[in-house]
Structure 1
Amino acid sequence: MTQRIVIDPVTRIEGHLRIDCEIQDGRVVKAWSSGQMWRGIEEILKGRDARDAWVITQRICGVCTTVHAITSVRAVENALDMEIPLNAQFIRNMIMAAHGVHDHIVHFYHLSALDWVDIVSALSADPAKAARFAAGLSDWAGSSEQNLTAVQDKLKAFAASGQLGIFANGYWGHPEMRLSPEANLMAAAHYLQALEIQRKANRIVAILGGKTPHIQNLAVGGVANPVDPDSADAINMERLYRIKQFIDELALFVRQAYMVDVAAIAANYPEWLTMGAGVTHALSVPDMPIDTRGAECTLPGGFLKDGDIAQFEPITGFHDPTFESAVLESSKHAWYADDDKPLHPYEGKTRPNYTDFADDGKYSWVKAPTYKGERAQVGPLANVLAMVAAKHEPTTRHLNTLLGTVKGLIGAELPLTALQSTLGRHAARAVRCAVLLESLDDQWNRLVANIRKGDLETFNQPEFPKGAVQGFGFHEAPRGCLSHWVVVEKGKIVNYQAVVPTTWNAGPRDQEEQAGPYEASLVGNSVADPERPLEALRTIHSFDPCLACAVHMVDPQQRELTKVQVV
């Protein structure tokens, strides 16, 4: 017997996502991923000054703000073949790294940990026993008996009031929740501590970017930040040392709590290291440029066929011709007017044509991208595999540390292929978070050293030719490979397309009927209780969906959807 379940909307993500699954004998046999909003930013940008695109594109999402801003200015700079001052590169890199650290912490603890952690179970835990359990894993000071008792008291107060507040509506007591009460209490404590810790990363973004979300300091040609060690109104050593303090505090939490918590969950749910692989072709891009043209990056990226590090094809830098030519988007199963053939982003169209949800027809507002004709998974898993293939020492070191912790808990080694799974994506994200912190510290040191040399430049003036130019920019965003593509004539935007990580992962079937990563990863997943499809949510959440980036809202009757009053 085949049963159809619909999860609409998928919660604890950004934006409106619908997931349909056909279940047979307790396992998913077919899936559909549907973005339920339309993205119209591309149409808004047409005819506007190319120097303003970054301000508008970062409104694509309220979380992924800085990533669209940086990718947009890189696209325009690429079209103009510009060089960027080193200080500007380092400042941008620090913003991107801090944003990535913030995003990874929030994703694991606040958007997906509750798929594995039973908050109600923590009410019956013994805080002293929980503290001993935590001490056996790491030296994190936040896991003391005193702290765990305070957290349990807070949870009990929620429960006594008849509600669980931020912990309401979880699948508490689900048969697939298997952590002990003590492990659940430890994880609940780290969940609450992460709310404070993630603010430290955001404060770095705000110091350098002027505010967050929606930074204010970027410009085509560099950044608007003045650098002056003697000025209180510029980037000076006082502000930089404040940032360094935040870096060190974040690193402590990531090493002693985040990495360890992921390992503990993997040890308690080992079967989820073999499920949820889906599309194994992996795509990531290099980032953290340390020269003026983006030719030399400290974090490598590339394409891995079947996720095989022996088949690694590096992407060389911001002007890589293979990447520029290899990306296409199909609208065959998306609600757009043009579906005759896949289009290159320079030629991409964004003409909405909503019909209805049709299993074998159009069923999503998200397009279906391919790289060299293949569907590819993007995100921390793809990035970590690429960096391992490129023999990036910090990545290999942090990955070995995490895998070593799991080995100590289960008594067996995990192969690298275990990362191609639902829990493997979480493990890779934790590793990437640790790598980003090292990169953030490295960029801090590079900026300080460059200022000490007397270099205070942060901006080069862009010059637009009279004819048409085109360019692309990319960034290895928290959710994976993000690229913007722009065609400019006389300084005005003629065409603009954003191919975002969730487009890669959440896209429907493509021109050749190849399933995307979400859909493919669900096939084979067990579902113990179709009324409470926790297992399907575990796999989808492991990608960290951001449908707000892939789509935006439209009413086909053109009615007003909402009104906002500024007071």
Structure 2
Amino acid sequence: MSIHPEKNAGIALCEGNLFIISVLRAKGRVARAWSTGKMLHNMNYLLGARLSGEESFFAQRPHCLCNAGHALAATRALERLIGIRLPESARLARNIVHALQYLLDHLTHFYLFYSNDWLDLAAALRASPEKTAAFAREKSPSLAAGAKFYQEAQGLLAALAAGDGGTVFSVGKAGHPAQNASPEASLLVLSHIQPAMDIRTKLTRAQGILRGALAANATWHIGGLPQSASLTGGGNPDLSPTARAACAALLGECRQFIEGTFLPDVLLVGGIYKDWAAVGRSDAFLSWGEFPGPEGGDALFPGGVFTVKDAGQAAPASPDAVTDETDPGWAERDKDRYRLRFGPGETAYHWRNDDFRWFSAPRHAGRACEVGPVARIVGAYGRANAMVRELADAALTALGLPLGALDSVIGRVLARGIESVACIRSVTAWLGDLDRCLDAENPVLQVPFTLPDSGEGIGLAELTRGALVHRIRLRNRRIVAHEALVPSLWNFSPRSGDGIPGPLERALLDIPVADPANPLELLRVIHTFDPCNACVLRVEDADTGRVTSTNAK
């Protein structure tokens, strides 16, 4: 990976960050966009002690997002440095635990973090429970519930809106022109918030069986599963047949919800906002690949760099092809917006801590690449993964959309639903494989290894949000560099010195903005890339000369 500490000190990015998104609105649409911000740099001061094998444990601590995924990437970096070939039991356990995290994230993101971008809570509270029940039966037999269910859901939603739900459950100004969902459609989907949280609890319990009760995830143990793992019960983690059967039962309940409720909810939103399949394109995609198969087998989501049209001929994705421009040669107008030098009377942004550095512009062989669910789904589709193709074709056919529609705002929503079903089906299969592996005579749980004195290892992982790479460099058994390139930098990167915009900047172009003071449409685009990050939205209105700023989550 062509990132050099001696040239760009502290390029490692932890995820204490703030995003500032500026757009120029002209004739009601986004004419130009700038994405910038700062991140806390450099984990080296936390990990610069002697190499002990506990680096994956500590790698979780500097990150406020996707902690477990950072630990996985750090573990893989050390295993590659050491030259470890993971035993089958550990491969399966890791795949299961990591895929369950995808499901936890997708449910949280859809129902809690951005459902109110598309659905009107105020409208849901005035919907008819009887009409909603009829509407649900019409949409899908799996969604059918009686009027009493929707009446009780309205009561819960009203209590959340009146309590301490904050902006997530607040009832804002009703009637935003971008919200087209009917009261019944809004109530139908929002009524599933509590059931979705109940399923999250079950997913967490299933995940906990395999990762154990250790402070660090036991499945991220270097070289395989830890010595404390037990196949007969009472260990940490407990991998006994009884525990695995309990895990399978939980997954059965989760699968029923994900296939019968979550995916239909996603398709319902996609159908209502079908016009959002024509906007928000980013063009190029990158995935490192995730959920490896057995030795010599294909990963569930293969790696590559591609567009939707050429996904079948994806170029290899390699950290060695990554460049990371830290100070692009922008034109003055762009430089002012990227460095937040605005006019008199506007908000001034100051960081007093030098550990925070401006966003850089990562590129793969010169291409600005989107990372995340669309990249993984389209990549798997292009490589003829039968399950992913079947799920994607069924979803797109149901909405009357072509494959190219996945490269869009609503396509990113659909990809979350498709990926969730692919993951829960795969987890079910992997758990069966793990049963056969652990029930065999003398199963191998870990491989012995010796920590080297010096070397370099690169660990690649796909978080729910997208591509992550960790690089660990040793010298005399000390970590001299521990760097990370995180998904947010790919998706939210500024334009590079040659003028190529980042994926979000490109996707924001031509997005309609009805009310600059309430730019709901911009939030939709941002949240479909990444619903976790807080940001400030600046809208410069060329038609009125006004500038408005909005704090957003």
Question: Equivalent pairs: percent with the same residue?
Answer: 28
Q: In 2, Cα distance between the equivalents of 1:547 and 1:211? A: 28
- TM-score scaled by structure 1? 0.82
Determine if the alignment matches structure 1 residue 436 to structure 2 residue 423.
yes
Encode CA deviations 1:141-189: one digit per residue, 9 max, x unaligned. Answer: 6743221110112334556779888511645421111111111111110
SS in 1 for 2:53: helix
Q: In 2, Cα distance between the equivalents of 1:327 and 1:451? A: 39
Q: In 2, Cα distance between the equivalents of 1:48 and 1:255? A: 47
CA drift at 1:311:
5.3
Encode CA deviations 1:263-299: one digit per residue, 9 max, x unaligned. Answer: 111211121011111x21111122222446xx53431
Determine if the alignment matches structure 1 residue 535 to structure 2 residue 521.
yes
Q: In 2, Cα distance between the equivalents of 1:508 and 1:159? A: 36
Alignment check: 8 A CA contact 2:290 2:303 kept:
no
Determine if the alignment matches structure 1 residue 504 to structure 2 residue 490.
yes
Q: 1:22-37 maps to which residues of 2 (within 5 A)?
A: 22-37=24-39
Letter in 1 for 2:46: I
Q: In 2, Cα distance between the equivalents of 1:541 and 1:252? A: 26
Structure 1 residues 47 and 515: alpha-carbon distance in aligned structure 2, compared to 1, 3 A threshold: farther
Encode CA deviations 1:288-342: one digit per residue, 9 max, x unaligned. Answer: 22446xx534313233433323553265xxxxxx6142122111159xxxxxxxx
Task: Identify the residue that residue 181 of structure 2 maps to in structure 1.
Answer: 179
Q: Please, which of 318, 329, 337 is the counterpart of residue 323 of structure 1?
A: 318
Q: In 2, Cα distance between the equivalents of 1:312 and 1:525? A: 30
CA drift at 1:463:
1.4
Letter in 1 for 2:393: N
Structure 1 residues 87 and 161: alpha-carbon distance in aligned structure 2, compared to 1, 3 A threshold: closer
Which deviates the most, 450-459 or 524-533?
A: 450-459
Letter in 2 for 1:81: G
CA drift at 1:254:
1.2
Alignment check: 8 A CA contact 1:69 1:218 kept:
yes
Alignment check: 8 A CA contact 1:82 1:221 kept:
yes
Q: In 2, Cα distance between the equivalents of 1:490 and 1:449? A: 42
Structure 1 residues 144 and 485: alpha-carbon distance in aligned structure 2, compared to 1, 3 A threshold: farther
Determine if the alignment matches structure 1 residue 416 to structure 2 residue 411.
no
Alignment length (residue pairs): 498
Q: In 2, Cα distance between the equivalents of 1:286 and 1:504? A: 16
Determine if the alignment matches structure 1 residue 239 to structure 2 residue 232.
no
Q: In 2, Cα distance between the equivalents of 1:223 and 1:266? A: 41
Task: Identify the residue that residue 511 of structure 2 maps to in structure 1.
Answer: 525
Alignment check: 8 A CA contact 1:482 1:501 kept:
yes
Q: Please, which of 484, 497, 503 is the counterpart of residue 470 of structure 2?
A: 484
Task: Identify the residue that residue 306 of structure 1 maps to in structure 2.
Answer: 307
Q: In 1, Cα distance between the equivalents of 2:126 and 2:312? A: 50
Ranges in structure 1 where 5+ consecutive residues have no aligned partner: 1-12, 316-321, 335-354, 407-412, 549-567
Q: In 2, Cα distance between the equivalents of 1:45 and 1:162? A: 38
Determine if the alignment matches structure 1 residue 379 to structure 2 residue 366.
no
CA drift at 1:422:
0.4
Alignment check: 8 A CA contact 1:281 1:377 kept:
yes
Q: In 1, Cα distance between the equivalents of 2:511 and 2:208? A: 41
SS in 2 for 1:272: helix
Determine if the alignment matches structure 1 residue 458 to structure 2 residue 462.
no
Task: Identify the residue that residue 287 of structure 1 maps to in structure 2.
Answer: 290
Q: 1:177-326 maps to which residues of 2 (within 5 A)?
A: 177-211=179-213, 215-224=217-226, 226-233=228-235, 234-277=238-281, 279-291=282-294, 296-310=297-311, 312-313=313-314, 315=316, 323-326=318-321
Q: In 2, Cα distance between the equivalents of 1:491 and 1:168? A: 53
Task: Identify the residue that residue 366 of structure 1 maps to in structure 2.
Answer: 359
Task: Identify the residue that residue 150 of structure 2 maps to in structure 1.
Answer: 148
SS in 2 for 1:136: helix
SS in 2 for 1:503: helix
Q: In 1, Cα distance between the equivalents of 2:55 and 2:470? A: 10
Encode CA deviations 1:367-418: one digit per residue, 9 max, x unaligned. Answer: 2211112110110001111000000011011112222332xxxxxx211111
Letter in 2 for 1:526: P
Letter in 1 for 2:402: P
CA drift at 1:449:
0.8
Ranges in structure 2 where 5+ consecutive residues have no aligned partner: 1-14, 330-337, 343-348, 351-356, 535-553
Which deviates the most, 479-488 or 161-170?
A: 161-170
CA drift at 1:66:
1.4
Letter in 2 for 1:497: E
Q: In 2, Cα distance between the equivalents of 1:119 and 1:28? A: 27
Encode CA deviations 1:444-463: one digit per residue, 9 max, x unaligned. Answer: 11111111212432222331
Structure 1 residues 414 and 230: alpha-carbon distance in aligned structure 2, compared to 1, 3 A threshold: same
Letter in 2 for 1:429: R
SS in 2 for 1:286: coil
Q: In 2, Cα distance between the equivalents of 1:251 and 1:15? A: 34
Letter in 2 for 1:379: G
CA drift at 1:63:
4.2
Which deviates the most, 302-311 or 536-545?
A: 302-311
Alignment check: 8 A CA contact 2:490 2:502 kept:
yes
Encode CA deviations 1:491-510: one digit per residue, 9 max, x unaligned. Answer: 32121211111111112222
Q: In 2, Cα distance between the equivalents of 1:264 and 1:92? A: 33
SS in 1 for 2:101: helix
Task: Identify the residue that residue 400 of structure 1 maps to in structure 2.
Answer: 393
Structure 1 residues 527 and 225: alpha-carbon distance in aligned structure 2, compared to 1, 3 A threshold: farther
Alignment check: 8 A CA contact 2:16 2:40 kept:
no
Task: Identify the residue that residue 68 of structure 1 maps to in structure 2.
Answer: 70
Root mean square deviation of aligned Cα = 2.7
Task: Identify the residue that residue 101 of structure 1 maps to in structure 2.
Answer: 103
CA drift at 1:236:
0.5
CA drift at 1:237:
1.1
SS in 2 for 1:287: coil
